[in-house]
Structure 1
Amino acid sequence: MKFDLHTHHFRCGHADGTIRDYIEAGISAGLGVIGISDHTPYFGSPSEQAFPLIAMSKSELSNYVEEVLSLKKEYEGVIDVLLGIESDFFPEHAELYRKTLSAYPFDYVIGSVHSVGGVSIFNKRRWKGLSKNEQIRVKSDYYRLIADSARSGMFQILGHIDAMKGNYPAFSEIPAPKPMDDCLQVISECGVAIEINTSGGTKLVGGWYPSEDILERANHFGVEVTFGSDAHKPSRVAEDRDAVAAQLKAIGFTHWVYYKQREKIKVSL
């Protein structure tokens, strides 16, 4: 069973295409399962749409859910359309996010840390002038937040767990092995999967998230994995999926997983 659990569409303000476009792209790519997982609104903000070029408005969430469920019925027997969503993890707003998302029948929720200390992980300027110790502190804080997101119980999948390297490739060279290993151990203990996300090629770093060395450590700790292209245009659906599967097998993984009605489904590699 071929699947891709991480796709976006026009509602988030920085992706192209409709939900139907991504479903059709999934069919063309030979997928049996396509997950739709656009960005949650910023529930913690008083604004209806705090960041129009980052996430959908609050009022669009119900329309999004209704459209995915309608298309799920329409494409039944052709491709399994799953209702997912990608949620930010803000500890101070976690309960609001939990309560809001629990009102909808999501098959899975991807939890992604997109900011640390109130600054986007993709902001290249955040690293300017930082000492080595300050860089280590930022990287450590990033992995502590990811570990906390796993502990929250809100998510089935954790998104792009080294995406902080996206626009700052030197991130990978910042020495902070203990916070990363502690994070992977927590993820394993909590039974949450991490995605292999192939959208790194759209950033300065290129390649995938996470790096091969992190995947090797994840396998050591017994962390389960899934696949998501993080496509923001239909042509990227299932991008590099077969190459990812081959790399996972070479590392020692025997299966990966996807989620339907919050239940884990294992698929042999």
Structure 2
Amino acid sequence: MKFDLHTHNERCGHAIGTIEDYVKKAIEYGLNYIGISDHSPYFYSEEDHLYPTIAMPKSEFVLYINEVLRLKKKYEDKIHVLLGMESDFYPEHIDVYRRQYLLHPFDYVIGSVHYVQDLNIFKKGRWEGLTSQQKIQVKEEYYDLIQQSAKSGVFQILGHIDAMKGFYPEFTSIETDAIEQTLKIIGEEDVAIEINTSGKTKDCGGWYPADEILERALFYNVKVSFGSDSHTPERIGDEFELVQKRLKEIGFSEWAYFIEKKRYMTPL
């Protein structure tokens, strides 16, 4: 079975194509399930459209949901369209986000940490001038936020859990046991993580997370899923078969998709 649970569209302001473009391309590529999971609005802000090139305005949230549900019905005889969302995680605002997601029939919500110390994790230059100890502190804060997101009960999937290496590949070599502790907690909380192939579009190359993290994830019985994080329709399902093969080599035998927030495991 072929699926992709992490896709974006033009509503977020930095992706290309309508939701329907992604659904049609998924059908063309032979997917069984396509998850639509655009960036969550900034629910905590009083402004309707806080960052126009990052996420949809709050006023389009329900329109987004209704469009996905319409396409789910329209294409039900060709593909399963899933209603998802990639949600920012802000511990101080988690209850605001939780309330919004409970109002609607989401199949899953991906929880992603995009900000550490009020700076975007992909901000180029954020590491310049930091001492070794300060770099360790940033990495540990990043993983502490991921641990909190796992414990929040809001998310079915955690997004790109080592994405901070995106434009700073040296992130991987910052030594700390924070990743080990994070995987242990994710396993205990029984939340899935995604293998996200969009790392290939960044300086780090490859996928999120790295193989060594996936090996430890298996040790802690962490469930895995798949998402291309496509921002163009053509990247849907990107390297699905390669990820499938690598997971088998690591020792995984199945992976997860979600319907109405219920997890289903399918063989690799």
TM-score of the superposed pair, with normalisation by structure 1? 0.99
Q: Is 2:180 aligned against 1:174?
A: no
Q: Which residue of 1 aligns with 2:55?
A: 55
Q: Is 2:92 aligned against 1:104?
A: no
Q: Partners of 1:40 and 1:133 in 2: how far apart? A: 33
Q: Give 1:125 deviation, angstroms.
A: 1.4
For structure 2, the 5+ residue unaligned runs are none
Q: Partners of 1:169 and 1:224 in 2: how far apart? A: 25
Q: Which residue of 2 aligns with 1:136?
A: 136
Q: Partners of 2:216 and 2:230 in 1: how far apart? A: 26
SS of the equivalent of 1:108 reads coil
Q: Give 1:206 deviation, angstroms.
A: 1.1
SS of the equivalent of 1:124 reads coil
What is the alpha-carbon root mean square deviation over aligned residues? 0.6
Q: Which residue of 2 aligns with 1:67?
A: 67
- 1:160 maps to a residue whose letter is H
Q: Give 1:77 deviation, angstroms.
A: 1.7
Q: Which residue of 2 aligns with 1:30?
A: 30
SS of the equivalent of 1:258 reads strand
Q: Partners of 2:240 and 2:29 in 1: how far apart? A: 10
Q: Partners of 1:219 and 1:231 in 2: how far apart? A: 25
Q: Which residue of 1 aligns with 2:163?
A: 163
Q: Which residue of 2 aligns with 1:185?
A: 184
Q: Partners of 1:174 and 1:124 in 2: how far apart? A: 17
SS of the equivalent of 1:253 reads coil
Q: Partners of 1:217 and 1:121 in 2: how far apart? A: 23
Q: Which residue of 2 aligns with 1:264?
A: 263
- 2:179 maps to a residue whose letter is M
Q: Which residue of 2 aligns with 1:40?
A: 40
Number of aligned residue pairs: 268
- 2:214 maps to a residue whose letter is L
After the TM superposition, list the runs of 4 or more consecutive aligned residues in structure 1 that deviate by more than 6 angstroms: none
Q: Give 1:124 deviation, angstroms.
A: 2.0
- 1:256 maps to a residue whose letter is W
Q: Which residue of 2 aligns with 1:215?
A: 214
- 1:59 maps to a residue whose letter is S
CA deviation vs aligned residue, 1:212-268 (integer Å, no higher than 9, x gap): 000011011110000000000000000000000000000000000000000001110
Q: Give 1:13 deviation, angstroms.
A: 0.1
- 2:220 maps to a residue whose letter is F
Q: Partners of 2:207 and 2:255 in 1: how far apart? A: 16
Q: Partners of 2:228 and 2:262 in 1: how far apart? A: 21
Q: Give 1:202 deviation, angstroms.
A: 1.4
1:141-160 alignment runs, 5 A limit: 141-160=141-160
Q: Give 1:27 deviation, angstroms.
A: 1.0
SS of the equivalent of 2:24 reads helix
Q: Partners of 2:221 and 2:134 in 1: how far apart? A: 31
SS of the equivalent of 2:126 reads helix
SS of the equivalent of 2:104 reads coil
CA deviation vs aligned residue, 1:69-117 (integer Å, no higher than 9, x gap): 0000000121000000000000010000001111111000000000101
Higher deviation after alignment, 23-32 or 145-154 = 23-32
CA deviation vs aligned residue, 1:29-60 (integer Å, no higher than 9, x gap): 11100000000100111110000000000000
Q: Partners of 1:92 and 1:266 in 2: how far apart? A: 32
Q: Which residue of 1 aligns with 2:124?
A: 124
- 1:30 maps to a residue whose letter is G
- 1:246 maps to a residue whose letter is K
Q: Partners of 2:128 and 2:108 in 1: how far apart? A: 37
For structure 1, the 5+ residue unaligned runs are none
Q: Give 1:168 deviation, angstroms.
A: 0.5
CA deviation vs aligned residue, 1:149-173 (integer Å, no higher than 9, x gap): 0000000000000000001011001
SS of the equivalent of 2:111 reads strand
Q: Partners of 2:122 and 2:255 in 1: how far apart? A: 28
Q: Which residue of 2 aligns with 1:198?
A: 197
Q: Partners of 1:211 and 1:109 in 2: how far apart? A: 22
